[in-house]
Structure 1
Amino acid sequence: MDVFNYDPAAVLSLLLTIMRVSIVMFMLPVFSTNNIPIPVKAAITIVFSLGVWPHLALSGAAMPAHPFDVALMLLGEVVLGLVLGMAVNFLFMGIQAGGELLGFQMGFTMINFADPLTGNQTGATAFFLWMVSLLVFLALDGHLYMLKGFAASFALVPPGGLFIGENLLWQVLHLAAQVFVLALKIAAPVMVALFMVEVALALVARTSPQIHIMEFGFPIKIGVGFFFVGLLLVVMADHVEQFISGMDALFTNLLRGMSPLYQ
């Protein structure tokens, strides 16, 4: 863009691109963490916007003139970012929920950490599984798949053209249901093993009442729990890999559900 040959359409197009990048991309996991300073996020927004603008620019003619229409457009961008970010966050939420169940069974409910994404307190086991799943997600280039899906939104969902219909709602509900399914898949094997330990300790307490089961059983439950959590990491990595392999189709279906071109 030539600064000495001012083109209002080009400036408005750049503003729309920056608007979508700044709102949508930083609602996606990894980029939305509170550990990234705000100046760094602003710099990444500007650099990324300038990088995609020549190829994925939004038309400057889409910029409304009335402030109320601009507010509606901003609201649509927020909803778009929330839906795309929530679709990926469901994976980590399911793993965290499974980790919370494991922490309860292993007796780690009194040990909490601050979740970097939400700022809430989470259990030690859930925090560990979340960190491992995030590292696997980054190692398998999951963040690049997120950026690829985000880039597809420029073509499928024009600014101010967000459509929320029945198809989108059913997709979100289906993803929400998968959170509980994934949590059970993560926690069930370890919970079964710990249940068998509880049964064995009950038999020991019945046959040998002089043994202090509380002092004897607590380290056994922790040791068995850690052993099966180590085995669980391989299974969890497979779940993350399957999710990343289907992320293209997931983002495409969500964007089509929000696009007026496919209604």
Structure 2
Amino acid sequence: MVEVTFAQLQGWIMAFLWPFARITAFLAASPLWGHSSVPNQAKVGLAALVAMVIAPVVSLPDVPLVSWAGVGIMVEQVLIGIAMGLVMHVTFAVVMATGEFIGLQMGLAFATFFDPGSGTNLVVLSRYLYMIALLMFLALNGHLIVLEILATSFDTLPLGLGGFNAGGFEMLARYGGTIFISGMMLALPLVGSLLIINLSLGILNRSAPQLTVFNIGFPTSLIVGLAMMMVLMTDIGRFLQGLFANSLAFMRDLLDALAPMT
């Protein structure tokens, strides 16, 4: 007859519960698995499966499960998972910001629809570029690399850290500037071309006031914008590949930065 002691049962629960908290927080905060269209049962099931795989190799601290220290460890795991998920959110927000910039210059800022994932109205171009980036991320096996980083994070940030390095959270906050920097870099060729057209139409309006610039300018901006979008699509794969590589490298650096200084 197999006998299980209370200490063994508590060890098994801790080896599953604490990694499960980190993984669940990451899946809930990430844009791929945390989307509202993904059933909650699938999120919890995937988190439980990964936690059971990781549990045998996770080193456990000598802390009782039902204690204030145990609650602190649970909060630590949730914060780590959310921080990793925010990195992925910032990465995909780059292409959404690009769609906002381009749509504003093309005159398509009014072409919006309700996005159930974010609960807000999104520009059509933002949604279009977001789906391309998401499919490209899956094609490059980015989701598998992220799960690998999540699994190896238990070596960089083991259970029972007792605190974080504040510089890691500052590093995460500064990474939010990537949305505007990379988003404008991707949209700059198209935005620059449309800006030249708008300046030309402004000069034309001053030189020939009898012409209705609005009737000429909107179709011109739309046609040139669509033509430039076709050119942009030929090189967007290289840009997204570099963006994903930088974000995954930053995620590893963030885990190292969050480790408390000895």
Question: What TM-score range do you get, normalising by the shorter chain?
Answer: 0.7 to 0.9
One-letter amino acid of the counterpart of residue 167, structure 1: G
Task: Give the corresponding residue for 1:26.
Answer: 28
Contact 1:25/1:31 (8 A) holds in 2: yes
Q: CA deviation at 1:143?
A: 1.0
* TM-aligned CA distance change 1:161 to 1:214, over 3 Å: same
Q: CA deviation at 1:212?
A: 2.8
Task: Give the corresponding residue for 1:48.
Answer: 50
Task: Give the corresponding residue for 2:74.
Answer: 74
Moved more, 68-77 or 182-191: 68-77
One-letter amino acid of the counterpart of residue 92, structure 2: F
Task: Give the corresponding residue for 2:151.
Answer: 151
CA distance in 1, matches of 2:2, 2:98: 55
Q: CA deviation at 1:166?
A: 4.2
SS for the counterpart of 1:43 is helix
Moved more, 161-170 or 191-200: 161-170
- What is the total number of aligned residue pairs between the two structures? 259
Task: Give the corresponding residue for 2:219.
Answer: 219
CA distance in 2, matches of 1:186, 1:86: 21
1:184 matches 2:184 = yes
Task: Give the corresponding residue for 1:65.
Answer: 66
Structure 1 unmatched runs, 5+: none
Contact 1:27/1:85 (8 A) holds in 2: yes
Q: CA deviation at 1:206?
A: 4.5
1:194 matches 2:198 = no
* TM-aligned CA distance change 1:187 to 1:239, over 3 Å: same
Contact 1:33/1:116 (8 A) holds in 2: no
CA distance in 2, matches of 1:71, 1:34: 28
One-letter amino acid of the counterpart of residue 39, structure 1: Q
CA distance in 2, matches of 1:152, 1:63: 24
Deviations, residues 56-86 of structure 1 (Å, cap 9, x unaligned): 43427445431x3343223222211221111
Contact 2:100/2:125 (8 A) holds in 1: yes
Deviations, residues 110-130 of structure 1 (Å, cap 9, x unaligned): 222334543322211111111
Contact 2:149/2:252 (8 A) holds in 1: yes
SS for the counterpart of 1:108 is coil
One-letter amino acid of the counterpart of residue 102, structure 2: L
Structure 2 unmatched runs, 5+: none
Give me the TM-score of the superposition, normalised by structure 2.
0.86
CA distance in 2, matches of 1:3, 1:214: 83
* TM-aligned CA distance change 1:162 to 1:36, over 3 Å: farther
* TM-aligned CA distance change 1:97 to 1:3, over 3 Å: farther
CA distance in 2, matches of 1:196, 1:204: 12
Give me the TM-score of the superposition, normalised by structure 1.
0.86
* TM-aligned CA distance change 1:249 to 1:186, over 3 Å: closer
CA distance in 1, matches of 2:21, 2:158: 12
* TM-aligned CA distance change 1:28 to 1:61, over 3 Å: farther
CA distance in 2, matches of 1:129, 1:79: 29
Q: CA deviation at 1:247?
A: 4.5
Moved more, 249-258 or 201-210: 201-210
Which runs of at least 4 in structure 1 moved beyond 6 Å after TM superposition? none
Q: CA deviation at 1:150?
A: 0.6
SS for the counterpart of 1:24 is helix
Contact 1:17/1:58 (8 A) holds in 2: no
Task: Give the corresponding residue for 1:39.
Answer: 41
One-letter amino acid of the counterpart of residue 49, structure 1: A
